[in-house]
Chain A
Amino acid sequence: AQSVTQPDIHITVSEGASLELRCNYSYGATPYLFWYVQSPGQGLQLLLKYFSGDTLVQGIKGFEAEFKRSQSSFNLRKPSVHWSDAAEYFCAAYNQGGKLIFGQGTELSVKP
């Protein structure tokens, strides 16, 4: 069955430090991949997406993600984290049946 896994439930980084959130997918073909962010009490906001082509995609708020087919991964990165980045981050893959399959989410805390 198609699935998306985020191995880290909770990550804490210091403000100004770099960030990498991991995402692995299980799919037969190259899926469409997404990262969403959910701030406390808010809905989900799309950070970036990968469909095809350049495997390094840029998103909003200074985030980027790299698709690695050999590792079935789509990790999210940011070179310097700001306190306002504290939120829940979801990786998702598009199922050809019209469904977005979400990972379990990674909660990011930012230390001052």
Chain B
Amino acid sequence: DTAVSQTPKYLVTQMGNDKSIKCEQNLGHDTMYWYKQDSKKFLKIMFSYNNKELIINETVPNRFSPKSPDKAHLNLHINSLELGDSAVYFCASTQRWGDSYEQYFGPGTRLTVT
């Protein structure tokens, strides 16, 4: 039944490691997003993919690399993790690029870098 799912829910790792977060949506949507929510709860878009094509790439360090193997999946790989990467990462999706205002969010992945 889950519309937008993310794995893992929690991720604790050490500085310098490489990790991935996975996102899947079963809504048949064309467009997917990654957001970062910092310790002050501020939400900011990182990336957006439409039909597996990168549409939005905010000013994000190139240690972050999104990958969309198909329309239903958008993964986020992070290299050389830093303390400042600790945050909650949310995946979202919308039916079409033109409907980007109707976004459905996943439950989030809490990343802690020690």
Contacts and interface: CB of A to CB of B under 8 A. Distances in A.
A25 interface: no
B44 interface: yes
A51 B100 CA distance: 13
A88 B103 CA distance: 18
A98 interface: yes
A51 B103 CA distance: 14
Contacts of A45: 105
Given A34-B101, A49-B101, A98-B97, A43 B45 contact: no
Contacts of B107: 41-43
Contacts of A102: 42-44
Interface in A16-73: 32, 34, 36, 38, 41-46, 49, 51
A102 B43 CA distance: 6
B101 A100 contact: yes
Contacts of B101: 32, 34, 49, 51, 94, 100
Contacts of A34: 101
A90 B108 contact: no
Interface in B76-104: 90, 92, 97, 100-104
Q: Identify whether the interface residues of A are mostly helix, strand, loop, or mixed.
A: strand
A39 B58 CA distance: 27
Of listed A46, A99, A100, A104, residue having the most chain B CB within 10 A = A100
Interface residues of B, number: 22
Contacts of B4: 43
Interface residues of A, number: 23
A32 B100 CA distance: 11
A88 B41 contact: yes
21 contacts: A34-B101, A41-B107, A42-B107, A43-B4, A43-B105, A43-B106, A44-B43, A51-B101, A88-B41, A94-B100, A98-B55, A98-B56, A99-B45, A100-B45, A100-B101, A102-B42, A102-B43, A104-B42, A105-B42, A105-B43, A107-B41
